[in-house]
Structure 1
Amino acid sequence: MKKKTIAGAVAMIASVSLIAGCSGAGGQDAGSGDTLKVAAFEGGYGAEMYADVVAAFEKANPDIDVELVTSKTLAQELTPQVAAGDYPDVVVLGQGAKEGFTEGFIRDRGLEDLSDVLDLTVPGEDVTVGEKLTEGIVGNLNTNPYGDDSVYLLPMFASPTGLVYDQGLLDAHGWEVPTDFDEFFALGEAAKAEGISLFTYPTAGYLDSYFFSLLAAAGGEDFYSDVMTYEEDVWMQPEAREVLELTTELLTEYTAPTTVGYANGQDFTKNQQTILDGTAIFMPNGTWIANEMADAPRSDGFTWGLTAVPAPEAGGERYLTTFVESAWVPAEATHKEEAKTFLAFLYSDEAAEIFAATGAIQPIVGLADGLTGDSAEFYAGYSGDGVKALVGSFAATTPVPGVDLKATLFDSANSVISGTMSLDEWQAAVNDASNKLGAAAQ
């Protein structure tokens, strides 16, 4: 599951713990302070890639032992450890998870400044980390959460997140991928006649990439920035109203009726399965979906596709929200210099090749050009006419008791579908939450 999603996992029981290299065999206990402790979220790309990268790092750096822990419930497992003062040295976990683990470190200014990592030479190569990264992937609220020049989160994996679909289903019916909402809803009507729903989502949290893209398309990138930084009454602006109106129509008229019942941490794959079965056309998701559903049954001729959220008006710009999974170092980490050495290695060609084999694509210059198969289909979404990449998320603020803007904006979709929340109520609730966070940010 994405959450991250970037997009999470909600069960608190099983974790995959991999002790790499000498960290176990050498008699060094977890938490002893003698090893570099790396904690990584196990998303749709799996855990094995991290073990392989750690093994490669230890081979190149025999004087550094690594203790690697990967888990689908990483945030939940790290929370009590951190509360007890037991900090990992490196964390690979982006923003957007329901637990808000990474966001908590941002709010509390508990992250190490990693700006100097960009100037480190990638081990075994003659370029710096900064020179290998694609333009624009650093210097936004995702990497520089305080709006200054300091980088606290390094972009680990960059995935286009948009509307995934089965190109075979469209081809079989002679349908085209819609580029604006008039075309989108017209397709919805045609699909209804065939007993097919236009839209679904795994859980309501997956609407983040949908909303971010649509907000930028409706009001432009300056308006999007105003939304992300809680400009006062920004959700009362006509552009925001249009976004909520279009979304309300999509949810109430064209969304699969089974969506809400399955939109939870246990059953979300049943919503994803409707795309593979051909009973729904589009759902918000990212490149990890192909790996996550690799063993699921599917319709004959099924082919993954990914497209940007339609523009509100014909000919308008469309956006693919780029989910960035981040790597960071807690300010309380014990081995900060070794952690930075490890982070620099993660951008090496050797590490990138290991990650890419699972579909985990890093924002490294030219890396996506050589993709094949499902990954090539997904990243081709950036090549669509009028499509732009969108990076960033809501700005960090000090916590406001009782305020959860993401839940108010995304999770309310379930209530909109069920009819227990009106459009006006949704707009007012989102605007109120946004204003309160804006006040806390001042």
Structure 2
Amino acid sequence: MKLKKVISALLVMTMTASLFAGCGSKTEDAPAATEDTSTEAAQTEEEAPAADAEEEPAQVEEQVLKVAAFEGGYGADMWSEVAAAFEASHPGVTVELTIDKKLEDVISPSMKAGDYPDVVHLATGREAALTETLTKENALLPLTDVLEMTVPGEDVKVKDKIIPGFLDTLATNPYGDGVTYYAPMFYSPCGLFYNAGLLKEKGWEVPTTWEEMWALGDTAAAEGIALFTYPTTGYFDAFTYAALASAGGSDFFNKCMTYEDGIWESADATKVFELVAELAKYTESTTVANANNDNFTKNQQLILDNKAIFCPNGTWLPGEMAEAPRADGFEWGFMAIPAVNAGGSGCSFCWFEQMWIPAAAENQDMAKEFVAYMYSDEAAQIFAKSTAIQPIAGVSDYLEGDNKMFYSIYDNGATAVMGGFAATAPVEGVNMLDTLCGTVNSIVSGDKTVAEWQAAVEEASDKLRAAME
């Protein structure tokens, strides 16, 4: 493996066939002293052709695969280890790694000069927007055929290894045409966190439907415990995305994300607005006052103190509250957003990173092989040691403790929801997330009605649709 520079490898071959041929010619010169000796010579001569026919070791083509990876919170060591493992299973391949926290600054100059990495691990949503820029320029290689490849070293196709839902989203199919250009990497599911110890102590069942949720809310209220709180309204993005997908499915969700005319006034959207309004009635009374960047941990503390049961958040919450005091018997619990429709499955929105192949990559075939390898058990276990969790079925088998519970959410039947609002040119005075999520405080406080909220979201959607890039 090569980090930042290529280390040359030499292939040594032993040519045994000529040695066998030399031995064969010597036996012809041996004197026939006795009948037995002659017989031995004849046998040796008969064996010689078989030795000559012995196959020589196949020559391995030397290749250099240039991989550029963003160095996030998981560190750089895992990339070195996974590259070494890939080289070990692919003789003749040398992985040239470029890893940096400001990856765009490192690789962009070379790319402008026509020297592209073969594989790039770099998510959307970053300030430099390199991934988005190449997407707009149609400069990425389709990965649909990678999904049909067999995972290296295994007997399963890539598409069958990836958790359902990860390949049916604008976050992997950026053009909305069903063609995958971004391979999903390293995910963090979001959902409702709660004190499992409290529910056990009280004998309360974890609700699986919103009807059961409201019933639990009434029961808890009788004991002075609120059903719900939230850190800030910003955390309603993941909550609302999951609820939208549950209400109308992935196609409906994508229409919401691309500002389709009238979509926010539809029956499925109305279900979500009304659900949040009902949840507002069960929200802990101090939540709105502390739902800001200075005091949000006070709202998170409510579930540790058994003053509220559920709080929407991501898998970083336990670490964020690791030093906070908590009630005796506290035990983290985590669940998906219950199904909006009767008989449906719960949904969990998740954030994830992306890997892609530039259309100008020189070694495209081996690049595809490397992307497919990312979903192998071997690679997943290497990444998991750094808490970088791959979106593959059964990944929770590699995990322990709370992480095992958090990342089992999709193994336990929840549908993964991914994606976000389509990019647009700036529209003065319009912020879709602020209109959709920021208004929740006003719904909880009673300052705005659901009808006013829904109309404002539709109006913002109309303005952004005209500005879509």
TM-score range, shorter chain: 0.7 to 0.9
Deviation at residue 154 of structure 1 after TM alignment: 0.7
Query: Residue 37 and residue 166 in structure 1: after superposition, are their counterparts in 2 closer, same or farther (change >3 A)?
Result: same
Q: Please give the alpha-carbon distance, in whole angstroms, between the structure 1 residues aligned to 2:198 and 2:181.
A: 43
Q: After TM superposition, give the deviation of residue 159 of structure 1 in Å.
A: 4.4
1:180 aligns with 2:209: yes
2:262 aligns with: 233
Among 191, 202, 214, the alignment partner of 2:231 is 202
Partner AA of 2:454 in structure 1 = Q
Structure with max Cα Rg: 2
Aligned amino acid, residue 69 of structure 1:
D
1:106–1:396 contact (8 Å) kept in structure 2: no
The amino acid across from 1:426 in the alignment is W
1:408 counterpart = 2:432: no
Aligned to 1:53: 79
- What RMSD in Å do the two structures reach over aligned CA positions? 4.1
Task: Please say which of residues 332-341 and 255-264 is displaced more in the overlay.
Answer: 332-341
1: CA distance between counterparts of 2:248 and 2:440? 21
Paired amino acid for 2:79: V
User: Is 1:426 aligned to residue 453 of structure 2?
Assistant: yes
- The aligned counterpart of 1:37 is 68
Distance in 1 (alpha carbons) for counterparts of 2:438 and 2:5: 42
Give TM-score scaled by structure 2 length: 0.69
Q: Which has the higher contact order (CA 8 A, sep 6+)?
A: 1
Deviation at 1:282, TM superposition (A): 0.9
Alignment of 1:314-393 (within 5 A): 315-329=342-356, 331=358, 337=364, 343-357=371-385, 359-369=387-397, 371-382=399-410, 388-393=414-419
In 1, the alpha carbon distance for the partners of 2:122 and 2:262 equals: 31
- Any conservation in 2 of the 1:162–1:285 contact (CA below 8 Å)? yes
Q: How does 1:33-182 map to 2 (within 5 A)?
A: 36-42=67-73, 47-48=74-75, 50-58=76-84, 60-61=86-87, 63-70=94-101, 92=121, 94=123, 101=129, 104-105=132-133, 108-109=136-137, 112-115=140-143, 116-118=145-147, 122=151, 129-130=158-159, 132-182=161-211
Unaligned runs of 5+ in 2: 8-64, 88-92
Pairs within 5 Å for 1:161-310: 161-220=190-249, 223-251=252-280, 253-255=282-284, 257-258=286-287, 261-264=290-293, 268-310=296-338
Deviation at 1:118, TM superposition (A): 3.6
Give me the whole-angstrom Cα distance separating, in 2, the residues matched to 1:41 and 1:286.
17
User: How far apart are residue 283 of structure 1 and its match?
Assistant: 1.6
8 A Cα contact 1:121 1:344, kept in partner: yes
Is the Cα contact below 8 Å between 1:155 and 1:326 reproduced in 2? yes
Paired-residue identity, %: 41
Q: Report the CA distance between 1:347 and its aligned residue.
A: 2.5
Measure how far apart 1:305 and its partner are: 1.9
**Aligned positions, number:** 400
CA separation of 1:438 and 1:102: change in aligned 2, threshold 3 A: farther
Q: CA 1:244–1:340 in structure 2 vs 1: closer, same or farther (change >3 Å)?
A: same
When structure 1 is superposed on structure 2, of 138-147 and 333-342 the one drifting more is 333-342
Between 54-63 and 239-248, report the one with greater CA deviation: 54-63
1:180-232 residue CA offsets vs partner (Å, 9 max, x unmatched):
33432343344344443322233333222321232244345554444334331
The equivalent residue for 1:14 is none
User: Cα distance, 1:427 vs. partner?
Assistant: 1.1
Asked if the contact 2:427/2:463 (under 8 Å) is kept, the reply is no
Asked whether the equivalents of residues 81 and 382 of structure 2 are also in contact (C-alpha less than 8 Å), the reply is no
TM-score under structure 1 normalisation? Answer: 0.73
Assess if the C-alpha contact under 8 Å between 1:201 and 1:263 holds in 2: no
Aligned partners of 1:309, 1:64: CA distance in 2, in Å? 41
Deviations 1:152-197 (A, max 9, x none): 2111134443212111111222322223334323433443444433
Measured after TM superposition, the shift of residue 98 of structure 1 is 9.1
Is there any run of 5+ residues in structure 1 with no aligned partner, and where?
1-19, 27-33, 71-76
Q: 1:239 to 1:53 in 2, by over 3 A?
A: same
What is the rounded CA distance, in whole Å, between the counterparts of 1:178 and 1:278 in structure 2?
17
